[in-house]
Chains A and B, each alone.
Chain A
């Protein structure tokens, strides 16, 4: 499969189509027309995403090298703007209102941070990336980039969006590992991070603490904080092997499952399509991320390689956490399932990220 562009395009379009089907299924029973028309908006987002996908894949990703700091500043600017102008929904201030749509800067920030970290760690474009650490010491190799990550991550966590914030930290840790930073340093960083975790406890909101408790034991509060996870498990499990059929899932159709078109769209899908359907979906995601890693392996350019890895990890981590959360194996955090969940920001950012991947693969020969 040399032609990664076609492969990625096909997989992405299938997943997006599955997503639209599921969104339609989970919202067609709602009362208002605004809700019922939500799948149309998702179609528009997917189209826009596809256009951007082709535009980005035809452009040169190395231009991002020059624009990195501008983009980073932009991301910070938007995140700050959320605090001032952001609209509150479901108790979180995550969205910026544009003319006819809401924009979620934290989605964009994830991609920009992947670009930023790729650039930071491949600064000199030398083959031995472990140099920065030995050369600049722990401070410039470890602490400084962490501060760059911590700034947007902190802003996102304060929205509050713990999931996306932690995503950035995870991405950072994985990239540290992949850039041949000494294992000893990573361990020091990790242990420092873990030791500081109890401190974070004080900064967590009450509902986040509750979610953690519920994750450890969903049965302590089945009608309150544990409701979502219990219903999600029931939805997935009751699907059985062949599923209940499209538009026939009782858990989502009768609204027992909250957020069935966004964070818990996997449960909606699994209920209606069963084990076979969900295995196919899981396999599609697996193939998509595998493409990302293959591209990273093929690329000689350090920046491109790290960027491809960053994007693949970004998608991979997000997909794994979302599905694990649907199955009750991860605490509930507001992470959408890329390409499936309803949400313009997520869809467009994901398509742009895939576009960058393709672009990296196309330009690697130039080097």
Chain B
């Protein structure tokens, strides 16, 4: 009896050990395999270069330069102090810093220890020569992001930084690890996956004391893919120079394809400051109340002002509720309901293209009231407002266009119980009130009149790794507007410049004929925003330009900036 129990116990021990073995070698085998690899595999890493960012002609906007790190890879008996003594002469090392490194050598003797970072090429060569006498010394080339044009196009490219927790949780499945350098904002973030380099290095096997036993192989680091932009660096520079020290943005676009040729935003930042990890300069950018990191072209939403009148005009002509000969008398103001709605001047008799040229509010109040808010809203949406243009860069905002329907829906919410009044319609028809647009949306709207009826999809990437991406971009949408409508509005746009009283008359002196529209968007409290959107040459448009000055005053000032840009372009022979 007792013998049986003992035998049974023995059998159970056998079963127990078998199941434990099963759980070790079958269920958890992978985990232990990794740990065993971690024990004996050492990688002296060598980074590949992050992909370059080029402009449309192949000039470099951002690339990588090599900086050199000095490392010590302990082999056998630690001769660390000897090597350090030999090296310190060249590196001008302080003894204190090296002492902490020494401590590190003792703790993790099998890992390469960094002695100095970011040394110049001369020192690197000098150290390379000392390699024979000092076994274990490694001079490792490390690519560092370089911005040859400093701040130029900084909002387009973005900057680099250590991955944050939020991105890590999202990107972990794609092979991102902690401490990885990833792009923030702009192209660097959007195409990080393409730009990303792959780490390579010397894979070697070490024994329990971290002594090197054999080389398992060298994995070639893979460079990231180059991204070519549609940006023209010359044009970009002109745009940024013209904008200098004025808060706002400039966008220059090809009217038929939607290629962005220049995209400037001010205040800007220096992406190199982030790459160098110079801790003192980063908070300056982050704490600045003028938000220099914001790309105002796509991420800034502002009241559209008079630019919106073009949409009202188009809507009126298309629905035949107004025609080119519709006349309105401007007496400086108009009474709608019980409230006086002002015009910025007294224009007397105005027809459509004069109203556009003089930007007469009263004409458009009337037109708007005739059309009704829903039609205006429909046409605004048709022109791509109130939704993002699905642009290449991150953090695009969609803007907003109010509509009676939305107001009604909002009535069910607790926050904004307002009815739609005629005053709202009047405000909407001159682009005030709740209307919010981005400069890029305005450029697209202007492109419709430049290319005669097509709403383009703007894009900024020309090629990834040498293969063109233009074919994958969404095609321009035909808005099927009548030709007469477009011609009528184009006539108005031309008169804005050519008419002596036109709001953008300053541009008439240019050697190229420009069509465009200014806008002065009131945004109390404070000065108005200044808009100018236009295209040139008028007959065969090659460029669409949209200048926006945040709190820049009258639209005239934007037209001035546009003039400056076009003048420079003429000088450079770009037009």
**Interfacial residues, chain A to chain B (CB-CB below 8 A):** 174, 177-178, 180, 231, 233-241, 250-251, 254-256, 270, 274-275, 278-279, 282, 286, 289, 293, 296-297, 309, 313, 316, 320, 323-324, 327, 329
B contact residues vs A (CB 8 Å cutoff): 2-3, 6-7, 10, 13-14, 17-18, 20-22, 24-26, 28-29, 31-33, 35-37, 39-40, 205-209, 213
A241 contacts B20, C-beta separation under 8 Å: no
> Closest CB of chain B to A161's CB: distance in Å?
23
Could you list 19 examples of A-B contacts with CB < 8 Å?
Answer: A178-B2, A231-B39, A236-B21, A237-B31, A238-B33, A239-B25, A240-B33, A251-B39, A254-B205, A254-B208, A255-B208, A256-B39, A270-B25, A278-B25, A279-B18, A279-B21, A293-B7, A320-B13, A327-B21
How distant is the Cα of A286 from the Cα of B16 in the complex, in angstroms? 12
- A320 to B37: give the CA distance in the assembly, Å: 29
**Cross-chain contact A251 with B207 (CB below 8 angstroms):** no
Determine the distance from Cα of A174 to Cα of B37 in the docked complex, in whole angstroms.
43
A250 touches B205 (CB 8 A): yes
Verify A178–B25 contact, CB threshold 8 A: no
**Among A178, A238, A279, contact of B6 (Cβ-Cβ < 8 Å):** A178
Across the A-B interface, the 4 shortest Cβ-Cβ residue pairs: A237-B32, A238-B36, A275-B25, A240-B29
The answer to whether B36 and A234 have CB atoms under 8 Å apart is: yes
Contact among A239, A255, A274, A286 for B14, CB-based, below 8 A: A286
Q: How far is the CA of A180 from the CA of B6 in the complex (A)?
A: 13
| B3 and chain A: residue at smallest CB distance | A178
In the assembled complex, the CB of B205 is this many whole angstroms from the nearest CB of chain A, namely: 7
In the complex, given contacts A236-B32, A316-B13, what are 20 additional A-B residue pairs having Cβ atoms less than 8 angstroms apart? Answer: A177-B2, A178-B6, A236-B24, A236-B25, A237-B31, A237-B35, A238-B32, A241-B25, A250-B37, A254-B207, A256-B40, A270-B21, A270-B25, A274-B25, A278-B25, A282-B17, A293-B7, A327-B17, A327-B20, A327-B21
Chain B residues, CB < 8 A from A174: 6
> For residue A327, which residues in chain B have a CB less than 8 angstroms away from its CB?
17, 20-21, 24
Q: Which of B6, B14, B18, B29 contacts A237 (CB 8 A)?
A: B29
> Contact between A238 and B29 (Cβ–Cβ < 8 Å)?
yes
Task: List chain A residues, Cβ under 8 A from B28.
Answer: 237
In contact, B20 and A329 (Cβ under 8 angstroms): yes
Q: Which residues of A contact B205 (CB under 8 A)?
A: 250, 254
What CA separation (Å) do A285 and B31 show in the bound complex?
A: 28
B20 CB contacts on chain A under 8 angstroms: 327, 329
Residues of B within 8 Å of A237, CB to CB, are 24-25, 28-29, 31-33, 35-36
Task: Please measure, in the bound complex, the distance between the C-alpha atom of A256 and the C-alpha atom of B213, giving whole angstroms.
Answer: 13
B213 (CB) vs chain A CBs: closest residue: A254
**In the bound complex, what is the Cα–Cα distance between A240 and B3 (angstroms)?**
36
Most buried by A among B3, B7, B17, B20: B17
- Collect the chain B residues with CB atoms within 8 Å of residue A293's CB: 3, 7, 10
| B40, A250: Cβ atoms closer than 8 Å | yes
Please give, as numbers and ranges, the residues of chain A lying within 8 Å of B39 by CB-CB distance: 231, 234, 250-251, 254, 256
**With the chains together, A128 CA to B76 CA distance in Å?**
67
- B contact patch SS: helix
Residues of chain B lying within 8 A (CB to CB) of residue A320 = 13, 17
What's the minimum C-beta distance from A301 to chain B, rounded to whole angstroms?
Answer: 15
Bound-state CA distance A270–B17 (Å) is 13
Contact partners of A323 in chain B: CB under 8 A: 17
| Residues on A with beta carbons closer than 8 Å to the beta carbon of B18 | 279, 282
Cβ–Cβ < 8 Å partners of B21 in chain A: 236, 270, 275, 278-279, 282, 327
- B25 & A240 in contact (Cβ 8 Å cutoff): yes
CA distance A71 to B13 in the complex (A): 32
Given A240-B29, A279-B18, A282-B17, check contact A177 B36 (CB 8 Å).
no
Minimum CB distance partner of B1 in chain A: A180
Q: Which A residues are in CB contact (< 8 Å) with B24?
A: 233, 236-237, 327
How long is the Cα–Cα vector from A316 to B26 in the complex, in angstroms?
A: 25
Bound-state Cα–Cα, A180 to B205, Å:
58
Distance of A297 Cα from B7 Cα, bound (Å): 11
Question: When the two chains form the complex, which single residue of A177, A239, A254, A324 contacts B40, counting CB atoms closer than 8 Å?
Answer: A254
Write out the residue numbers on chain A whose beta carbons fall within 8 Å of the beta carbon of B206.
254
Q: Report the minimum CB–CB distance from A164 to chain B (whole Å).
A: 19
Instruction: Say how far A90's CB is from chain B's closest CB, in angstroms.
Output: 17
**Which residues of chain A are near B33, meaning CB under 8 Å?**
237-238, 240
Q: Chain A residues near B32 (CB, 8 Å)?
A: 233-234, 236-238
Q: Note all chain A residues with C-beta closer than 8 A to B25.
A: 236-237, 239-241, 270, 274-275, 278
Q: How far is the CA of A9 from the CA of B207 in the complex (A)?
A: 38
Contact of B36 among A180, A251, A278, A313 (CB under 8 A): A251
| Cα–Cα, bound, A297→B4 (Å) | 10
B8 to chain A, nearest CB (A): 11
The answer to whether A289 and B40 touch across the interface, beta carbons within 8 angstroms, is no
Interface centre among B3, B6, B36, B213 (most CB of A within 10 A): B36
B7 with A275: CB separation less than 8 A: no
Closest-by-CB residue of B relative to A227 is: B208
- In angstroms, how far is the closest chain B Cβ from the Cβ of A290? 8
- Could you tell me the distance between the alpha carbons of A255 and B26 in the complex, rounded to whole angstroms? 24
- Separation in Å of the A321 CB from the closest CB of chain B? 10
* B residues near A178, Cβ cutoff 8 Å: 2-3, 6
Residues of B within 8 A of A177 (CB): 2, 6
Evaluate whether A275 and B26 lie within 8 angstroms (CB atoms) in the complex, with A238-B33, A255-B207, A256-B40 already known.
yes
A329 neighbours in B (Cβ, 8 Å): 20
Which residues of chain A come closer than 8 Å to B37, judged between CB atoms?
Answer: 238, 250
- Contacts of A235 on B, CB cut-off 8 Å? 36
Chain A residue nearest to B209 in the complex (CB) = A255
Contacts of B36 in A (CB 8 A): 234-235, 237-238, 250-251, 256
A327–B17 Cα distance when bound, in Å, is 9
Instruction: Please measure, in the bound complex, the distance between the C-alpha atom of A296 and the C-alpha atom of B6, giving whole angstroms.
Output: 13
Find chain B residues with CB under 8 A from A234 CB.
32, 35-36, 39
B213 — which chain A residues lie within 8 A by C-beta? 254
Give the residues in chain B near A279, CB-CB below 8 Å.
18, 21
Distance, CA A270 to CA B3, complexed state (A): 31
Q: Which chain B residue lies CB-closest to A180?
A: B2
A239–B17 touching, CB < 8 Å: no
Residue of B nearest to A236 (CB): B24
Q: Which B-chain residue is minimally distant from A250 (CB atoms)?
A: B40
CA distance A73 to B518 in the complex (A): 115
State A275–B22 Cα separation when bound (angstroms): 7
Docked pose: A316 CA to B11 CA in angstroms: 11
A313 to B28, CA, bound (A): 32
CB distance from B509 to the nearest CB of A (A): 79
Closest to A312 in B: B10
CA of A305 to CA of B51 in the docked complex: distance in angstroms?
80
The verdict on A289 contacting B29 (CB below 8 Å), with A236-B24, A254-B208, A282-B17 known, is no
Q: Which residues of A contact B3 (CB under 8 A)?
A: 178, 293, 296-297, 309
- For residue B368, give the distance in angstroms from its CB to the closest CB of chain A: 74
Q: Bound state CA distance, A254 and B212, in angstroms?
A: 10
Q: List chain B residues, Cβ under 8 A from A313.
A: 6
Inter-chain contacts of A274 with B (CB < 8 A):
25
Residues from chain B with Cβ under 8 Å of A275 in the complex: 21-22, 25-26
Report the minimum CB–CB distance from B6 to chain A (whole Å).
Answer: 6
CA distance A174 to B25 in the complex (A): 32
Of A234, A275, A286, A320, chain B has the most CB atoms within 10 Å of the CB of A234
Which residues from B are CB-within-8-Å of A251?
36, 39-40
Of A238, A239, A289, which contacts B35 at CB under 8 A?
A238
